[in-house]
Every structure is written in structure tokens, then in C-alpha cells.
Chain A
């Protein structure tokens, strides 16, 4: 039985010549032009470049060549991934208008696979946020309810896929920034094992936590896109040798005989509707032949405080380069020191400033041991606790995020309330483990709920197997209110 995968259907039709890539791209550009003014998922739409890329695919097909496994498939790319000659702003004024002279490795791999980069999507500035409200260029709206947030930081990418404006999207996930918006928008979002996807060309937020990953409407497409973008890159020292690409092939293996744990820490403090969906998901897995058991991994609760010391610390260093000297915004002043300070004051939004200051403090002399140093040790505790859990279980199940989509503006004045969105997702980043959010039902207001599958490092095959079963068992999704015609 073949699993649904609209993007792969497109690729097949383009490859066998039955549908020109040009037509595919035109269809999606029309959808974007009609729908995005309300949604604001995109910061840049690449009308000409996409058409040109489609033409190349079609020419290859006509000449009898191999246009690649994703031939003609439009992909929306988060605007913190470098695209050569195309503005890459990270949704920040400090990079407004900056065009990188090079492509991120993942973008090169998309192009090599025949995919068409159709646009750059909105995000929380420098990927710092859980709602896309921290964008310097205005928020993105949730296609299910335009008065609500799409989640963040990859809100634009998630909204684009949910609204049918692109079949595939790339996001980045440092503390949940792929999985949480996927959950809030009712799509599939996956964070790979740290080191399986190159970070070269991903504008760094927190280097030891960041990963690029797929946002798609189905699990099969998620696995396929992961296979395309993943693999060793000589330009990234933290990138592993490619694990064998069994992800797509193993998808239909089912969960018979697998042991699934449901940690209380990923269910107890979430909204009742979300908790209920998680329990239903657990029941579905048990019904499909898995052994499902409640468990407790207390160390998971320490993930959020540790994350909010480590990530800002690395970010404070990664964002130091934005100083008005070599590219981007410059606010002139009499001395270079004053120029730096004025440029960064004008160029960074409040959340970025807060995190830089927090991170600087956590690293500063006298506090390093208590804050940054201690957080790195807590990280070890979490890794060890999860390792112990994976002695008993093949995968873990829980909520992706405690709530469904909240109203635009509801949490902007309370940073810690916003940070709580990440409580279920940060442990996987800290441990470097893979995790995926799969849509599973909705709350009483009709808003999508996502459930999360966690696996040990390089456990993508098991993770995808479980996700596939959940996808099959999920209640029929309600289409978003804002969708491509």
C-alpha cells in the first residue's frame, strides 16, 4: 500500500513528463499571490527564479536526463538559510537587504535533487521565539485561525505548508522551532539527530543545538526530504557520516513489538485537550501492536532552565558579528564602538536583545560556573536519563507543546510564559536526539494538536515507523480556514 505523499506525486509526474514543472510552479505561485497577503508566510517570493529553475527541470526531462528525485517540487525555505544572491534576512532589520554570496549546503542539495526554491519564509528574528511575532517584518498568521500565531520560530514554513502554498518546506529547530509550529499548524515537522544534516549556511542561533529539518504534510514526505538534505558535509565539522538512508523504506514496517514509553513529564503539565490527544495516540499505538507504558524521566523538567542558559549564551557569541562593519545595517557614529552599539540597538528586536544580554551574563566572569557550566552538566544528566529510558523503550511519546495556537499578542509581554512553549521539545535538542511532531486530532475549538515521537540518536528509522502509524490512526484533519484555492 503506498502512503500519501503529494510532493512525491508531483515529482513522479514531472519526471515521467506527464506534468511540466513550469505548470506546477505556476500553480503554487498563483496560490501564494492569492493567499499570502493575508497569511504573510513569505518574506520573499521568487517568481522569476522559480520559473527559471522549473524551465531547467523541464529541459532536462525533455532531453531524457535525470532531473532528480524531487524534480519540479516547490520548496519554501526558512529565511535563516542562505540562498545565493537572494535576500536572507533572518527576519531582522540588521540583515535587511543582505544577499549571501553562497547557498547553504541543504539548499544546494535541494537544487541538486531538482526541487524549486519558491520563496523564503518568515521566522522569529534569528530563530528566537515560539510564535513568529518576533519577526521585524510582522507576524505570520495561523492558517487555521488568522487571529492566532502559527508557532515559531519556523512559523512561516509551517503556515506555508498548512495553507497549501508549498508542498515542502525547510525549517530549523533549536528548542522546538520546527516541531512546535508544525503542531500548531497541523502539519508534520521533524528535527533530525544533531549532526545528520549540514548546518553550513544556516545562520547560527545556538550552534550545539541548531538543526535544519523538513516541514511537510505527510510522514513519507518528511522522510524523503530528510534523505535528500542529510549526509556528511566537508564544510561542517559537526556533521556525521551519513547513516544509511533507510528512512523511507522502513516506514511501513509498523510498530508490532516496539516498546513505547510515555513520560509523565511530557503529558502532565499540558492543556487537557492536548493531554487527551496524547493518550489517544498512545492507545492507537497499543492497538497497532506496540507495548505502551507510562514512565517518568524527571530530568526532562530541567531541560527548559538549562536551555534558557545555554542557547542564549551561544547566541550572544554567534550574534556578535552583526556590528555594522562588513554587511547589513550600519548606523553611523563618530567611533567604531559607538557605531557598533547604535547599529545593534537599531537592528535587533527586543527578544534578540534580551537573549544576547542573558547569554552574555551567563558566560561572564564569576557566573560561568553557576550558569553556563552548570547548564552543560544538566545537559549530561538529561542525556544519561534518556539513555536509561532507551534501555527500556524503543521510542517515547508525548505532547509536542503544552497548548494549541494562542492568540497573536497573548504572550509577548511575558517572556517566560512564551518560553514554556518549549518545555516538551528542548530535551531532544539538548541531547542531540531526533524527534517528530505528527498532527493528531484537534482541541474543542477545532485547532490542531500535534503529538511528539522521540527516539535515541540516529533512531530516525524507528521514529518514522511510529510516526507513520500515528498518521494512519489520526482523526481526519480539519482543513485550515486559509488555504490555497
Chain B
């Protein structure tokens, strides 16, 4: 399906909300899906443009090879870092149990 034929459905909205880890109520899902479909209809105007042979611009600058030397710099004080953490145990960040798998 091309962008022209596709509208953002409620299922699409639910899918992206899951992908983006945002819990939405049913009412929010309805409302956002409708608003997003309208915005997308406008924004998708770009799909109709002829960009044959045009390279994408990922960076507005002609910079290349920006690097730094492999030299240590001071790290943060651990207490300062952990002081702002929502939950800490044994000098590490504590989170509830993890259902899914790592990369």
C-alpha cells in the first residue's frame, strides 16, 4: 500500500503506542488516532513529490570524521547520580522484574 492509500487506523495507533511504550486509555487511543490521521494526511503530501535521484539529507553539515582522543575524563560522582534515581539497591538502579529479553 502506498502512503496515499493508507490512513492511520486505530490499530496502527495502538501498535505505535505499544512500540513507544506509552499506555493509553481507550478514549485517548480514539482521540489520538483521529488527530494523527489528519496530521498524517497533511504531512503525507511529501509522498506525492517526485524525488527520483535525490539523495536524502541526513546531516545539514559537510562534517566528516569528528573524533576525540582516547583519553580519560572525570566521571560523575556516583552518589550524585544515584541521588536522583527513582529506586536504588546495592549501588545500582533498581527496576521491577523484566519480562522481555535483551538484544
Q: Bound pair: A and B? A: yes
Chain A interface residues toward B at CB < 8 A: 98-99, 101, 194-195, 208, 234, 237-238, 240, 302, 304-306, 308-309, 316, 320, 323-330, 332-342, 344-345, 348, 350, 353-354, 356-358, 360-361, 364, 367, 370-371, 373-381, 383, 415-416, 419, 430-432, 457
- Given the complex, which residues of B lie within 8 Å of A357, measured CB to CB? 13, 16-17, 20, 22, 32, 36
In the complex, the answer to whether A240 meets B63 with C-beta atoms within 8 Å is yes
Q: Chain B: which residue is nearest A194 at the CB level?
A: B60
Question: How far does the Cβ of A201 sit from chain B's closest Cβ, in whole Å?
Answer: 14
Q: Considering the chains assembled together, what is the distance between the CA atoms of A309 and B41 in angstroms?
A: 11
Within the complex, the shortest CB–CB distance from B57 to chain A, in Å, comes to 4
Task: Among A327, A337, A371, point to the contact of B47 (Cβ < 8 A).
Answer: A371
Name the residue among B3, B24, B56, B57 with the largest chain A CB count within 10 angstroms: B57
Contact with A along B1-40 (1 / 0, CB 8 A): 0110000100011001101111110001000100110111
Q: Contact string, B38-79, partner A, CB cutoff 8 A, digits 1/0?
A: 111011111101010011111111010010100000001100
CA distance in complex: A99, B76 (Å) = 14
Say yes or no for B91: interface residue by CB 8 A criterion: no
The answer to whether B16 and A101 have CB atoms under 8 Å apart is: no
Q: For A99, what are the chain B residues with a Cβ–Cβ distance below 8 Å?
A: 84
A208-B59 CB under 8 A given contacts A306-B46, A335-B96, A381-B49: yes
CB contacts (< 8 Å) of B13 on chain A: these are 357
In this complex, what residue of B is CB-closest to A370?
A: B3
B103 interface residue per 8 A CB criterion: no
- Say yes or no: A370 contacts B57, CB within 8 Å: no
Which residue numbers of B lie inside 8 Å of A, CB to CB? 2-3, 8, 12-13, 16-17, 19-24, 28, 32, 35-36, 38-40, 42-47, 49, 51, 54-61, 63, 66, 68, 76-77, 80-81, 84-87, 93, 95-100
Q: Is the CB of B86 within 8 A of A330?
A: yes
Query: In the docked arrangement, what's the CA distance between A416 and B17, Å?
Result: 20
On chain A, the residues within 8 Å of B84 by CB distance are: 98-99, 326-327
Contact (Cβ within 8 A) A341 B22: yes
Q: Which residues of B contact A333 (CB under 8 A)?
A: 96
Which of these, A329, A379, A415, contacts B39 with CB under 8 Å?
Answer: A415
**Closest partner residue, chain B, to A356 (CB atom):** B20
CA distance A106 to B27 in the complex (A): 42
Contact of A379 among B57, B95, B96 (CB under 8 A): B57
Q: Which 9 pairs between the two chains have the least Cβ-Cβ distance? A: A432-B60, A376-B56, A330-B86, A341-B23, A377-B51, A370-B3, A345-B23, A379-B57, A360-B16
Q: Tell me the smallest distance from the CB of B24 to a CB of chain A, in Å.
A: 7
> Of the candidates B16, B63, B66, B86, which one forms a contact with A324 in the assembled complex, judged by CB atoms under 8 Å apart?
B86
Q: For the complex, what is the distance from the CA of A332 to the CA of B55, rounded to whole Å?
A: 45
Task: Report B28 CB to chain A, min CB distance, Å.
Answer: 8
CB distance from B88 to the nearest CB of A (A): 10
**Given A316-B20, A357-B17, A370-B2: A419 and B39 within 8 A (CB)?**
yes
